[in-house]
């Protein structure tokens, strides 16, 4: 069994008006099957309201299924006795780093999770050091988080999750509030965790350029999985993605338009280098 698995997962929430009266029921996730393996880097795409963040919140038992089951490391998220294990194994990083940072000093903040787990003090400091180094923030360990940029704060949030030694880290639109440099920093940190430390990464994003580094992309719409495949496979389907109101990476779109104009280019070009190589072959 994979590190995160979902079978026939559905989630409904009740809509209420301003007075609190029930207006109706929205099915935010509708019959989703999922199997994420240890060591995967998965990107989940979809426009607002597609269900991607709702799905993410099932991966560490913030939400529970209305129907179906979610297993994290083989444990059913609905069983309360596993809640602590599940949250330890599947760490979550949210959109706004200010909501996650609680310490007055960077290294204290990162040590907060392991301390709560009852880890011995010596090991806490070892974990703080390795986690901050993993996200390139070790030199800032004595700084106040308030003095950091958005990208730096988000990397500290990620370090705080890594210090708990999770098997999987779920990043729910972690770059939505960041500038382009901050976005690059955070994605670089996530990729390093996956490639160097072997941590499973689930990245929820609406930036297509961030998804090209994943080994699998899941595209959601109206609570269902509409597409699944490698970045090359998914981004080859330009017209379908447009129908789902999604973009493709700019270089993919350029290659697609050049191909439509008559250049014999392959499908699924996702990096500038691939486009350059393909164009060189035209000579």
Q: How many CB atoms lie within 10 A of CB 188?
A: 15
**Residue 94 in contact with residue 174, Cβ under 8 Å?**
yes
C-alpha distances (whole Å) from 152 to each of 5, 80, 141, 274 are: 32, 34, 11, 31
| Model pLDDT for residues 17-38, shown as the tens digit of each residue | 888 888 888 899 999 999 999 9
Predicted confidence at residue 102, as pLDDT, reads 86
How do residues 87-111 score in pLDDT, each as one tens digit?
Answer: 889 999 988 888 888 889 999 999 9
Q: What is the second-level CATH architecture of the domain 38-62+73-242?
A: 3-Layer(aba) Sandwich (3.40)
Looking at residue 101, its pLDDT comes to 87
pLDDT at 67 over 90: yes
Q: Where are the domains of the chain?
A: 38-62+73-242, 249-283
User: Against a cut of 0.75, is the pTM above it?
Assistant: yes
Q: What is the mean pLDDT of the chain?
A: 91
Question: How buried is residue 243: exposed, middle or buried, by Cβ count under 10 Å (0-12/13-18/19+)?
Answer: exposed
Residue 51 scores a pLDDT above 90: yes
Task: Name the percent of the chain lying above pLDDT 70.
Answer: 99
In the predicted model, what is the mean pLDDT of residues 41-67?
A: 93
State the alpha helices, DSSP H only, in 135-266: 150-162, 180-192, 208-211, 231-235, 238-243, 250-260
Q: Please give the pLDDT value at position 1.
A: 67
Phi, psi dihedrals of residue 24, rounded to the nearest 5°: 170, -175
The predicted-structure confidence for 190-225, as pLDDT tens digits, reads as follows 998 899 888 999 999 988 889 999 999 999 999 999
């Amino acid at each position: 069994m994979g590190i995160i698995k979902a079978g026939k997962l559905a989630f409904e929430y009740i809509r209420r008006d301003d007075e609190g009266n029930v207006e109706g029921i929205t099915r935010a996730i509708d019959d989703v099957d999922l199997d994420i393996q240890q060591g995967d880097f998965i990107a989940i795409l979809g426009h607002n309201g597609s269900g991607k963040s709702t799905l993410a919140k099932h991966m560490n038992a913030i939400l529970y299924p209305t129907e179906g089951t979610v297993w994290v490391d083989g444990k059913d998220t609905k069983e309360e006795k596993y809640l602590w294990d599940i949250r330890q194994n599947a760490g979550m990083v949210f959109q706004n780093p200010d909501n996650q940072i609680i310490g007055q000093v960077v290294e204290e903040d990162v040590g907060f999770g392991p301390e709560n787990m009852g880890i011995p003090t010596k090991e806490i400091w070892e974990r703080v050091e390795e986690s901050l180094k993993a996200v390139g923030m070790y030199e800032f360990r004595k700084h106040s988080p308030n003095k950091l940029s958005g990208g730096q704060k988000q990397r500290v949030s990620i370090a705080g999750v890594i210090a708990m030694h999770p098997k999987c880290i779920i990043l729910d639109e972690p770059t939505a509030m960041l500038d382009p440099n901050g976005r690059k920093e955070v994605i670089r940190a996530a990729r390093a965790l996956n490639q160097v430390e072997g941590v499973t990464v689930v990245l929820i994003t609406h930036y297509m350029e961030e998804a090209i580094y994943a080994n699998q992309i899941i595209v959601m719409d109206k609570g269902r999985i509409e597409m699944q495949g490698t970045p090359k496979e998914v981004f080859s389907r330009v017209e379908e993605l447009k129908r789902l109101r999604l973009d493709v990476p700019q270089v993919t779109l350029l290659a697609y338009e050049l191909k439509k104009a008559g250049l014999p280019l392959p499908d699924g070009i996702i990096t500038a280098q691939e486009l350059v190589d393909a164009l060189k072959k035209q000579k």
